[in-house]
Amino acid sequence: MNEKQCPYCYNKITTEENICPTCKKKLNIQCPYCKQMIKAYDEVCPHCTTKLKKSFNPKFLIILGVSLSIIWLILQFTIITVLNYNPQILLEKNKHGELLFALPDYVNLVMQTMLISIIPYIIALVKKYKTRISTTGLIINIVISFCFISYFIYLYQSVK
Ligand SMILES: [Zn+2]
Ligand SMILES: [Zn+2]
């Protein structure tokens, strides 16, 4: 019995299997070139010898997501340092001149969103559907970062 890796969930499978025992996906597929039945993990079609496209490895998404989180954390530390020296940025000009956002609140928010954005990658490491979870995580990460940066720019411009 030969051991192979499921091209969908990356768990170990044997060549005897027709359906992945973990993700339940069919391992017998049709070659897109010669239409003969091949195995989903085949890198080269045994019938027409065409090189088949390798499926996307979700590990790449996890690495990308974690790197983005680290970059994001560094960016936040820079923002916090700027805010620490220029606390007036957090003073949004309202009628009463009240402090809209205190620095500790901002730090708290950063830490909480950081935890939320890293959760999908932790789940992706232990569960199946790695690609779907890490893609969702990546989208959440980008959206959160975008909101944060726009809010910061908005605050910065409102005190100028
Ligand atoms: Zn599988
Ligand atoms: Zn073929």
Over residues 6-27, the pLDDT tens digits come to 888 888 898 888 999 988 889 9
Rounded distance from Cα 105 to ligand 2 centre (Å): 59
Query: 65 and 42: one domain?
Result: no
In percent, the amount of the chain with pLDDT more than 70 equals 77
Ligand nearest to the CA of 49: 2
Considering every ligand atom shown, identify the ligand nearest to the alpha carbon of residue 13 and give its number.
Answer: 1
Which of 22, 40, 55 represents a domain boundary (last residue)? 55
Which stretches within the chain are classed as H helix? Answer: 58-85, 103-126, 130-159
Q: Report the pLDDT averaged over residues 70-82.
A: 81
Distance 18 CA to ligand 1 centre (A): 11
The structural domain count of the chain equals 2
Question: What single-letter DSSP state applies at residue 12?
Answer: E
Domain range spanning residue 26?
Answer: 1-55
* CA dihedral (93, 103, 89, 65) positive or negative: negative
How buried is 38 (Cβ within 10 angstroms: 0-12 exposed, 13-18 middle, 19+ buried)? buried
Same domain, 49 and 127: no
pLDDT tens digits, one per residue of 34-67: 999 999 989 899 999 998 877 666 677 777 777 8
Which residue is listed with tokens 């299997």? 17
Same domain, 65 and 41: no
Instruction: Indicate whether 37 and 94 sit together in one domain.
Output: no
Tokens of 16: 């005897």
48 and 70 belong to one structural domain:
no
State the pTM of this model: 0.48
Task: Please check whether residues 47 and 62 belong to one and the same domain.
Answer: no
Q: Does residue 115 share a domain with residue 103?
A: yes
* Average pLDDT of the chain to the nearest whole number: 77
Dihedral-angle region of residue 25 (phi above 0 means left; psi in -120 to 50 means alpha; beta otherwise): beta
| Euclidean distance between CA atoms 144 and 117, whole angstroms | 8
Q: How far is it, in rounded angstroms, from Cα 115 to Cα 110?
A: 9
| Residue 72 Cα to ligand 1 middle (Å) | 32
Do 45 and 63 reside in the same domain of the chain?
no
User: Which of 3-12, 21-30, 94-103, 148-157 comes out lowest in average pLDDT?
Assistant: 94-103
Looking at the structure, tell me whether residues 63 and 50 fall in a common domain. no
Q: In the predicted model, what is the mean pLDDT of residues 75-82? A: 81
Q: Are residues 25 and 93 in the same domain?
A: no
- Choose one of 55, 80, 98: the last residue of a domain: 55
Question: What is the whole-number distance in angstroms between the Cα of residue 69 and the centre of ligand 1?
Answer: 28
Distance in angstroms (rounded) separating the CA atoms of residues 114 and 126 = 19
Final residue belonging to a domain, choices 10, 28, 55: 55
Residues 101 and 131 occupy one common structural domain: yes
Distances (CA, A) of 89 to 20, 94, 100, 151, 154: 55, 13, 10, 11, 10
